[in-house]
């Protein structure tokens, strides 16, 4: 059976059929689909932690412990894997239960942000817990020309600190960062329009979760421009909604998309996911 990649109806995402994620010979076709679609889905293929790490590492070096993440969310023996889960063991959370419930691009606040994220579903709720993805390359291409001129050559600031303070003030149950980790949360400046290093395609690189302001603008101007870009980016024609099934592996290109994890009834249901992240280059 050959490998087939099919565009998911009504979206930009692609479903990869017939590929074995554990087979190195299949990776070239998977990687091509990743670049072509920005989000790819492989269904019904349970992956062990070791297999997920091996597959993810074919995209590039993996990111382990980060200043923005509690060590308790890392899988014991496999620090390359972050556990996103509301499971508890001996009364303590085994992972991050409320991660990513806002539009963001993974680790955009680092000097060399995440290239891509691979998320594998081990247990999913029967309702809720979907993930939304916005195609920021398509969003850039469909901007009015006058807006493109306004953002050309401009940079925006990114930081995890604001979001972290906000969610902790709202009563998040996540394990707090250490004082040393909080001190390491810096502000980084990246171009509002970045060029994909492998495809050459341009995409917006701002998101409501971590982008705080536009360089050279006052607060009112900056907020108005960013709000305009955010509203345009999440128009229905730019968004793919993924409804998870056990055994799903979804890989997305953080150089092109942002995402938003949807809530679910954590008192009734369990959602347990394994996440790996791939090192990227500094945006240009």
Domain for residue 284, yes or no? no
pLDDT band at 130 (very low <50, low <70, confident <90, very high): very high
Please give the Cα distance from 259 to 73 (Å, whole number): 20
Domain for residue 20, yes or no? yes
Domain for residue 76, yes or no? yes
pLDDT, one tens digit per residue, over 205-253 is 999 999 999 999 999 999 999 999 999 999 999 999 999 999 999 999 9
Domain for residue 163, yes or no? yes
Find the domain containing 190 and state its range: 4-279
Q: Considering its fold, how many domains does the chain have in total?
A: 1
Domain for residue 18, yes or no? yes
Identify the active-site residue in 66, 104, 194, 274: 104
Identify the active-site residue in 66, 163, 259, 274: 259
Beta bridge partners of 278: 62, 116
User: Is the CB of residue 161 less than 8 Å from the CB of residue 182?
Assistant: yes
User: Is the CB of residue 157 less than 8 Å from the CB of residue 212?
Assistant: yes
- 87 is written with which tokens? 């499971």
Of the chain, the percentage scoring pLDDT greater than 90 comes to 81
Question: Which pLDDT score, from 0 to 100, does residue 67 have?
Answer: 67
Mean pLDDT rounded to a whole number for the chain: 93
How far does Cα 200 stand from its chain's mean position?
20
pLDDT band at 131 (very low <50, low <70, confident <90, very high): very high
Q: Does pLDDT of 68 surpass 70?
A: no
Question: Which pLDDT score, from 0 to 100, does residue 36 have?
Answer: 98
Q: Which of 29-43, 98-112, 192-206 has the lowest mean pLDDT?
A: 98-112
The CATH number that applies at residue 253 is 3.60.130.10
Q: Is 275 a catalytic residue?
A: yes
Average pLDDT of span 50-57: 98
DSSP annotation of 237: G
Domain for residue 68, yes or no? yes
Question: Which pLDDT score, from 0 to 100, does residue 1 have?
Answer: 62
Of the chain, the percentage scoring pLDDT greater than 70 comes to 98
Identify the active-site residue in 37, 66, 106, 135: 106
- Selected residue with higher pLDDT from 234 and 70: 234
**In this structure, how many other beta carbons lie within 10 angstroms of the beta carbon of residue 43?**
14
pTM for the model stands at 0.92
pLDDT band at 70 (very low <50, low <70, confident <90, very high): confident
Domain for residue 145, yes or no? yes
Q: Is 106 a catalytic residue?
A: yes
> What would the 3-class secondary structure string for 174-208 be?
CCCCCHHHHHCCCCEEEECEEECCCCCCEEECCCC
Please give the Cα distance from 122 to 99 (Å, whole number): 16
Q: Is 71 a catalytic residue?
A: no
Q: Does pLDDT of 83 surpass 70?
A: yes
Q: Is 259 a catalytic residue?
A: yes
Domain for residue 255, yes or no? yes
């Amino acid at each position: 059976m050959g490998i087939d990649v099919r565009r998911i109806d009504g979206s930009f995402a692609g479903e990869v059929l017939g590929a074995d994620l554990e087979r190195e010979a299949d990776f070239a076709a998977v990687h091509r689909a990743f670049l072509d679609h920005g989000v790819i889905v492989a269904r019904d293929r349970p992956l062990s932690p070791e297999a997920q790490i091996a597959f993810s590492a074919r995209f590039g070096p993996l990111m382990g412990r980060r200043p923005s993440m509690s060590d308790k969310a890392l899988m014991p023996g496999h620090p390359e894997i972050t556990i996103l889960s509301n499971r508890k063991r001996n009364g303590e959370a085994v992972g991050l239960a409320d991660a990513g419930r806002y539009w963001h691009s993974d680790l955009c606040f680092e000097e060399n942000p995440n290239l891509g994220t691979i998320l594998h579903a081990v247990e999913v709720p029967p309702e809720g817990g979907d993930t939304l993805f916005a195609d920021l390359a398509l969003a850039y291409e469909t901007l009015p020309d006058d807006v493109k001129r306004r953002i050309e050559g401009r940079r925006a600031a990114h930081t995890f600190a604001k979001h972290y303070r906000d969610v902790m003030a709202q009563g998040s149950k996540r394990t707090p960062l250490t004082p040393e980790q909080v001190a390491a949360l810096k502000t980084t400046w990246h171009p509002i329009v970045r060029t994909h290093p492998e495809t050459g395609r341009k995409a917006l690189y701002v998101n409501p979760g971590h982008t705080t302001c536009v360089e050279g603008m006052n607060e009112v101007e900056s907020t108005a421009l960013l709000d305009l870009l955010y509203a345009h980016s999440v128009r229905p024609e730019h968004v793919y909604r993924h409804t998870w099934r056990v055994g799903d592996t979804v890989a997305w290109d953080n150089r092109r998309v942002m995402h938003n994890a949807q809530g679910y009834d954590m008192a009734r249901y369990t959602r347990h996911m394994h996440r790996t992240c791939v090192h990227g280059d500094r945006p240009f």
